[in-house]
Structure 1
């Protein structure tokens, strides 16, 4: 073992002579020498394409002469670097042997020895004596450690007083709660602000109008339906005719809650410093109970496409698939809600070059898509929408009869007896568009409806690729699109005591440390985000692209054309070949069931498929839990397919093995552990497969006021950064949308509205050593200990 941890009080053994650090020389033979010192610097463990791992550390010698160099850098490679990272802490005493000596490229900067120590391979050994509890810091630590200020006192949350609507007096700034009985979505005022209006009431049954002026859409109360509960802070009462009205003042903010009894307390807040007290919870609960006991709310006008009728005005909850400008006063939105309108719908043909989002859909999906024409003042709101957004469109009109789309007179054919959907200009009857948050109950219900359609359609048409319908993960922003509809910021989640520096200072720092910077994201790669998904082997630290369906299908086709196999089943098979009429086209599949994993009433079967296609495997995996495609070897044994393709399917998930680290043996009888349902790790271990995991890998280009920094990578902490797992991003549309929306917010395409936010980042600087050359190695940077958050949905 290259890193040996000594017991308390033990001295490092061995026959080697410990020499002073000052005696290290490139001209001397140090094969019989070792050096001893205390760790004063321990850099991060980073990956290297040659040595797998790389780590830089520094040790300082105690009791050295006043004129002697007391510290030296060490470069650790391979397994030694990994073991050192896990076993050694700053302040520990170490003794190193089996090293070679090279010139230190950072000696002038760090004032350490002119040479450094390179440790790698079996001959290199490090013995470590852990630092005793309460031990005093080394001289170098005492000089470099900064005294941390005491934690600031946390003030208690500000307590707000709320006034009943019947007790309002003119000319007073107040805080109020109320139930929405009328509202208009924000629209552009004559000045620079957006304007919205609403009318609220409470248990006093007093109805009060409110006029909101705010420059940004998200600062307005996010009201989705009559009956929502709003909390308004810092509004002023003003006389208006024979009543009072509320207007915004400095410091205004709003929070909106669902008015449904029993709903959660998650608010839609316009404030970045939102707080929710027990008093707030009590008031919301009381208003919900009061609303449930009253008959003051109008009927819900939300209608699914399947219930839309000619001449109807209704509210539609839907998902935006694509959009395109028709002319300066009209925008086309292509939407769906998982249901099919019973009437023939208007078809709108636009140039595919101006469409944002997918330009074509399968025949089955196309039947569910409705074209919504958005006019006049709502065009501004439509420009902010992104394909994939969930929307509530208020006061949508279904128009029957002969329709000709404006702006397309030269190419659009007049269609007769087709139903068309129009969102007219103006704000009457609450007319407008709102983006629904992901945690909205309406979005959850909409997703369930879409899931039902998806599952049903896959059973009927498994050959249909519905990636266009199910999101825009594979659709990069290659053309200018409108800015994101939410604001994203970053926050560091580390405890590093380092001062923030600019990018120019960062590029002058030596590798091996962590740094705090503030910069903007200017560009990222890959632009096609599905290519950011990689397969990673934790054993050999290799990384590879996820193979596309065409490549996987070819491997399965070649396996199907191979030997057909013996007529007798494997000894561990349940009952020989089992023919299931489960093929996509009704054909049978040759199936072998593992007898030890089949349990009555439980999904424990492990199904081995021979002669199957990729389509067969995925189709069967939708019904059965564990599906393993196999082939017959020339020796008459069942073996796994080439590990460049999935070796296991579980539902929508696919699992891959590392070709380099897997044993590659034939399929063996797996063993079951009582009633435990085996997971993918158990199955991989039974087959001798080294399981690979999904990771996200992106390269950023950062810029601050004076400099630009390339080669900034995000992968080890990518899941923390985006708040989603790479495994979910491989199969889950919501996770894909979150990554895409985050990047669109941090790095809006050129020509899009909105400013690029300034990001607070923690960066680790490191070298990648190639060909045993530790000098003049390029420096790279990796984003670590950093996460993003939406200003709309802050966690409290």
Structure 2
């Protein structure tokens, strides 16, 4: 809301004088998004120009990031009040002085005259309005304020560009990098780099991510951009500045149709590098929303879905990536390399001679694998402390619940304001009592398929039956007057997914914390774990595969990328007989005990070498990554 009109005098940039405090208008020709300086303040750098064709570099500092100019693109128009003019290397520069304020307007002709500002009161007169319009017409007539923004369909390998897009998913990779999964309604003409992420680590609506998987790109952001990336909300509209479409180095990278690109936002602030979040009333966002709304996607897409866009056939053919190389690559192999298919094949004998770390593409056969009992390959892994342990099978789970959970629950358990209790006696010989505590939502009970229940005193088989009726189950025990979780057993059950918590890293809180989720929609396992202080363990397959080609053999681990390899969720395989049979069938196809190795199918794989120090002795190990079985029920002859 603007305050009372006040007369200000504005100085053209060619009339500025050293040592004065001035008010100016200008068009942005370069800017750096606010970043934390070496001190405690945030810093913003902006270069502007006006009709005099004189440029002015401005450097502003503030302890409040929101007080700095909210600039989104080249061509934005700014109004700065009370900037101090200094001279450096014979050029005028500006810094903020006492009472500094800034208004930022979109530079497009006919865009709304709504300023971006953190000021609660500011003046904006009819003269200011005329000035903004004159700057808009001036820069439009010159057409010299070219933006570096590109659509994904226009991006060329090796380019640095700005991308306006919508965020559909995100995930933490490590301390120095973060994944953003975005789309802009167009499709990259070069095969984009796809990064494998565990379902549990990926934030975003699963249905949307699945429907958009053929049109999204994965972007890795690094270092100083990670904290901002973490804070981004799914669905927000963002501009990623100075994004690098990096070409993967390979012998075939000059063959355009075989080239693929990796998208990186490197660390630092050079060339305005950074991420900004745009409001939904921004005119560029409104145009993007129209483009996104025109994209028609299949409701049940294949692995790399085909999508229809309301454009001409010529435009559609330009947007569709060439898949010839990928199809050639898949021939006579039971595996697919979704990203690095153009790497040259390296013989295993050469790999063994090389130092680590290195990455390779190989073509080999599966000579043998361990463990032979495949249920033993499902492990639980803590990403925080790196603890790895066996997943209990049905026999062990039955024993755990018999020893720890089938005591006598309190039969006089009173209802509370956040759950209602019921107790029944089993028909077994021991006539045990089982208590179920139904969590309330909006102070009412839900239907079973939507309910979260706390179960006390049930056996393993009884929990299996209950999991077929109720959405979410948390096994609990009574301790004095309270209920508590026991992490020696599954912490949470959702259908065939039995989830565990790390006993080392968890910091358990009271079950009453669940009431803070009572107004949330659905029961999200990660959110439940967070409020209860449980560090969730990740299910994964851990196998040792002996791979052999005509030159030699290596032992390679399959673990962090095992879910990608099998396309089978390890979190449910132990509770799903069909998936267990499917896993056995896959391994029998890859390594058939009734045939000679010459009859085994070929596998194209990516493997990486790394140095490992176990027991004080250093050795080179190998791990399979970025490799997918092309057909779960394959039957491919060599």
Which category describes the TM-score, using the shorter chain as reference length? Answer: 0.3 to 0.5
* Greater Rg over alpha carbons, structure: 1
Q: TM-score, normalised by structure 1?
A: 0.38
Q: TM-score, normalised by structure 2?
A: 0.46
